[in-house]
Amino acid sequence: MKTTKKYREIITGIDFSSQKNEREEYESCEFVNCSFTDVSNLNFVNCLFRNCNMSNMKVNNTKLQEITFVECKLLGINFSRARDFAFEIHCKNCNLDYVSFDSKKMNRSSFENCKMHNINFSQADLSKVQFTECDFYESVFNNTNLSGVDFTRSRHFSIDPTMNNVKKARFLVQDLPGLLDKFDLIIE
């Protein structure tokens, strides 16, 4: 995850939820301690969000290309409504509870040390996504492409291999119960 880039503009401490946004595009910007509620129809390219509160933010028709979130609250966002073209996000130390990535192609994205409870990954393409130290408690994987995903450093997932593409995905032997939940087996 790259966070050492130089950004052309640093925006600090702005509450975008209480002021009208005058711009349509942000490129090479760093946002620090900002709050957002609606970024619909805006374009974000090569931006860093650090310590921002974006809970329940609307992203209808939003372009999110090469975006990094560090220590942000991203609760309840429906990323399925963001533009598909060039969608790429990287999250580190973020809370993404109740987020939806339904039908999202996100194979260039990465997640490190993130809380990801109750996320909807139904029909998403997660092939090649990097998950490191992530907690997937109660997250939904349904008809999801997980080919090549490494789950060896993540926990609390329940994935039905008959309903998802898990070809070449990596799991630890102690995580077998998370793959066999459907069969109601007792594994000792």
Average pLDDT per block of 10 residues along the chain, 188 residues long: 74 88 91 97 97 97 98 98 97 98 96 98 96 97 96 93 94 78 66
Strand, coil or helix: 44: strand
Q: Of 1, 2, 21, which is closest to residue 11 (Cα–Cα)?
A: 21
Burial bucket for residue 37 (CB in 10 Å: 0-12, 13-18, 19+): middle
Q: What is the pLDDT of residue 187?
A: 62
Query: Residues of 72-81 as b/e, b for ≥16 C-beta within 10 angstroms?
Result: bbbbebbbbe
Q: What is the pLDDT of residue 4?
A: 57
Instruction: List Cβ neighbours of 6 (8 Å cut-off, separation of 6 or more).
Output: none
**What pLDDT is stored for residue 1 in this prediction?**
53
Specify the pLDDT at position 184.
73
In this prediction, residue 99 carries a pLDDT of 98
Q: What letter would DSSP give residue 170?
A: B
What CATH topology corresponds to 96-188?
A: Pectate Lyase C-like (2.160.20)
Token look-up 């996000």 returns 89
Q: Is there a shared CATH topology between the 1-74 domain and the 96-188 domain?
A: yes
Answer yes or no: are the C-beta atoms of 139 and 118 closer than 8 Å: yes
CB atoms within 10 A of CB 2: 9
User: Within 10 A of 26 (CB to CB), how many other CB atoms are there?
Assistant: 22
Give the model's pLDDT for residue 65: 97
How far is it, in rounded angstroms, from Cα 122 to Cα 78? 12
Q: Domain 1-74, what architecture?
A: 3 Solenoid (2.160)
Per-domain residue ranges for the chain? Answer: 1-74, 96-188
* pTM assigned to the model: 0.91
CA distances from 79 to 89, 95, 152, 181, 183 (A): 10, 14, 25, 28, 31
* Structure-token match 């630890």, residue found: 172
